[in-house]
Amino acid sequence: MDYFDTLSLMKYQAEILDSEIPEGLKVVKIGGEIEVGEIVKRMSPSRTYQIDLRKVCETINSVVASEEKGVFVIPVGIEKYLALLELHERIRAALFLTKCVTLSHENMRKVWFVNREVWHELRPFVPGFIEESMLFIAEIIGQKRVRIKKTIYPELLGVDVVFDI
């Protein structure tokens, strides 16, 4: 899921770092105009930046259900969307996203990437509501390293995981 061209920004940054975003990504594009990956559905916010999150979840579930293997769903830019909302709508959206995480299709694994600075601006409610449903939370430390900040396994808390890709 690409909210407001975040995936194109990530692609630009990856290219500068002499890296790349994998080809053949199926993308549900929410707002924005720059195309990256195979756009399977395009959704536009209303003039008040409301997005029908129910339709977003239904679209993702239909894409996942059409795949035989397990699918990773990677929402990018969701914090930008949440930051545009008034507090009441932001809390409703956070609670709905938590529902989507916990009631997702069985073939689906979600990996969320958020801009930490924007994410912290959504306090006190939104990060807590959404992070409560996450089994793992990690911070990107380098190109191939993440540090586990929250986990259901106490022995992994604070551990750095290095990806040798």
Helix H, strand E, coil C: the string for 2-42 is EECCHHHHHHHHHHHCCCCCCCCCEEEEECCCCCCCEEEEE
pLDDT tens digit sequence for 37-49: 999 989 888 776 6
Specify the pLDDT at position 117: 92
Asked whether the predicted pLDDT for residue 105 surpasses 80, the reply is no
The whole-number average pLDDT for the span 24-32 is 89
How many whole angstroms separate alpha carbon 105 and alpha carbon 91? 23
How far is the first Cα of the chain from the last one, in angstroms, to the nearest whole number?
A: 23
